[in-house]
Chains A and B, each alone.
Chain A
């Protein structure tokens, strides 16, 4: 048997094996559970609000920007606008302000609405 024929035979067997594995593999993927979240993240609600600390970082940033006391600025709503950024709407003594903050706590912007 020539070297080419040996490689062709091996290639054939590998191809057949790969096809069979390809058929089995998706089943394994579907049945495999995702890794569990860490204990502190084992609950959630339908409302995808920003974590409380990020909301308050926004309130603090708005207080600095407006000159108002932080005690008069309260986050009133928030939502996830992309995978790493939250928009937080604030009530600053009756005036509405919008803040963008990323998941690492970096304030991106503070603007009046």
Chain B
């Protein structure tokens, strides 16, 4: 998508800036304060519309071609991934500024914004896009990485087997592989020595990154979970932030 979108975006910006700088605008503003005020109002209206996220829209992404925020649901996510072979830019791995007292190696999950941060030195963090628990399945708490597994076996918990007919055939475990719901790596989250049953793991459905889709686990693209697992040590602190979610016991 990259080059075409960027080029189009740059052209639109250039056109906008040219109009913005033009003598026509300056003349109008200088000589017609009233017209300028109307223009300012007209300018403000679409900006206000563009900056206010409508209630009920769980996730929105910025479309660099149309310069509009668009709702990002499962259907649109699948369509986007089919067209671009990757998730929207915001959900791709990137280094960002992160002001924190947490030590490097700490994992911080922002479930509301669908980001996982791995704290780095010098007030920076590696940020990854994630998929999180759908309504009623989110949680918040402070846990730790109890163990890390490559191409893990997936064993659905008994309540999932009872709830989801697709899980039933794998009640005794599904071997690791590209179709396994845990993907390429799993970081098992523990509280003390107790397995919480929650994991940070890969997924065979990369388009679900950025959405509220899981049963409480944190899912990442296989490429990203492989990168994360290579940087994280067993014992690393994991802070899960999720507004309105139940607190994991012990916190």
Contact = CB atoms under 8 A, between A and B. Distances in A.
B94 interface: yes
Interface string B57-99: 1111110101101001000000000000000111100101111
B219 interface: no
Contacts of B172: none
Contact of B101 (A40, A51, A60, A78): A60
A99 to B, nearest CB: 14
A61 B16 CA distance: 44
B42 A105 contact: no
B127 interface: yes
Nearest to A19: B32
A102 B230 CA distance: 34
B-side interface size class: 35 or more
Contact of B61 (A35, A42, A91): A42
B101 A39 contact: no
B247 A76 contact: yes
B198 to A, nearest CB: 15
A79 to B, nearest CB: 9
Interface of A: 14-15, 17-19, 21-22, 24-26, 28-30, 32-37, 39-49, 51-57, 60, 70-72, 74-78, 91, 105
16 contacts: A22-B28, A28-B19, A28-B25, A32-B16, A33-B12, A33-B67, A40-B96, A41-B90, A42-B64, A42-B89, A43-B210, A45-B57, A49-B110, A49-B243, A57-B99, A74-B141
